């Protein structure tokens, strides 16, 4: 996606940025802080871990937990947000991918109280909901305008002349799903692989990815038989940043035996075997 922009009284005001990591399904929000810059950050990871980096008189970092995003069944309020006046936000121009939200107020000096919520796709629209983004028709985030008398006590105490973002006291005591299992859940959902895993690709660079059914303690040996036996598999070296995911998948390319050229086209596969020694 791109910017989230408020439209009021004929002008466009920058509220923040929303992006989804297509590789693992995590959601990243950057919201306006003092001076209108997008310096308040919320990262909502597929594991259910939510990291906050809030900018005010001092930088506040906090972590909260919900269920794995793919398993969410109910509404999870994750933050309250207060804008004393839309004039506090920077005026912006719309770009491709930006989302425009109409704010039905004529007085730009009027305070706006909002709540950010993590939801499942089946959650019906609620009163004063002004925005929602759903990923893979499964989970996502929405923004609901709250009236003054419904705002949390923390928000009421924080009436200052700059945008205020406050994490809500909610959630679980610890992370319920580790990164590897969340990654497997997401890949199976995104590519409709089923519980047994499967094959993704090839990408434009000719990279394929074999997704395991369950995490494996040791990296298995990948054996693929092609309909045409002139092709063979070349496993790719695991980058340090991806090392933890080595027990969830293996990346590889396909080479033609005679020419030694890597293939970027779809090839007919007879069988795939992952052999892990016990």
Write out pLDDT tens, residues 75-132.
999 998 888 778 888 899 999 999 999 987 777 777 888 899 999 999 999 988 999 9
> What pLDDT is stored for residue 190 in this prediction?
96
Write down the pLDDT at residue 1.
Answer: 76
6-40 tens-digit pLDDT: 998 889 999 999 999 999 999 999 998 766 678 88
Collect all residues with Cβ–Cβ distance below 8 Å to 147 and sequence separation of at least 6: 113
Confidence of residue 56 (pLDDT cuts 50, 70, 90): low
Question: What residues contact residue 140 under an 8 Å CB cut-off, 6+ apart?
Answer: 27, 118, 119, 121, 132, 133, 134
DSSP 172: B
The strand ranges marked E within the chain are: 3-8, 11-20, 27-32, 38-44, 49-55, 59-65, 76-83, 99-102, 112-120, 129-135, 139-146, 164-167, 198-200, 208-211, 221-226, 231-235, 249-256, 262-263, 269-275
Q: How many C-beta neighbours within 10 Å does residue 196 have?
A: 10
The pLDDT value recorded for residue 153 is 46
> What is the pTM for the complete model shown?
0.86
Token pair listed for 83: 């804008």
pLDDT at residue 149 greater than cutoff 50 = no
Task: Name the band, by pLDDT with cuts 50, 70 and 90, for residue 162.
Answer: low
Q: Which of 241, 268, 243 is nearest to 254 (CA)?
A: 268
Give the 3-state secondary structure of 34-77: HHHCEEEEEEECCCCEEEEEEECCCEEEEEEECCCHHHCCCCEE
- pLDDT of residue 161 exceeding 60, the answer is no
């Amino acid at each position: 996606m791109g910017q989230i922009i408020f439209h009021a009284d004929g002008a466009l005001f920058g509220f923040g940025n929303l992006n989804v990591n297509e590789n693992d399904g995590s959601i990243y929000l950057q919201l306006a802080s003092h001076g209108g810059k997008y310096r308040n950050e919320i990262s909502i990871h597929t594991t259910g871990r939510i990291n906050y980096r809030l900018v005010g008189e001092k930088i506040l970092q906090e972590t909260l937990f919900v269920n794995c995003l793919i398993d969410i069944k109910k509404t999870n309020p994750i933050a309250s947000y207060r804008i004393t006046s839309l004039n506090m936000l920077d005026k912006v121009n719309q770009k491709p991918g930006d989302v425009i939200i109409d704010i039905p107020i004529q007085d730009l000096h009027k305070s706006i109280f909002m709540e950010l919520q993590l939801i499942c796709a089946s959650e019906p629209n609620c009163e004063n909901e002004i925005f929602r983004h759903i990923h893979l028709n499964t989970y996502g985030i929405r923004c609901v305008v709250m009236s003054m008398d419904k705002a949390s006590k923390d928000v009421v105490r924080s009436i200052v002349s700059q945008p205020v973002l406050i994490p809500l006291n909610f959630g679980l005591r610890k992370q319920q799903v580790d990164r590897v299992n969340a990654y497997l859940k997401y890949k199976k959902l995104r590519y409709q692989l089923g519980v047994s895993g499967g094959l993704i690709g090839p990408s434009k660079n000719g990279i394929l990815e074999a997704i395991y059914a369950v995490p494996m303690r040791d990296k298995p040996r990948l054996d693929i038989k092609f309909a045409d036996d002139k092709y063979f598999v070349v496993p790719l070296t695991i980058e340090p940043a991806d090392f933890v995911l080595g027990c969830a998948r293996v990346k590889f390319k396909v080479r033609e035996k005679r020419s030694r050229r890597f293939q970027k086209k779809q090839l007919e596969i007879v069988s795939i075997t992952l052999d892990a020694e016990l």
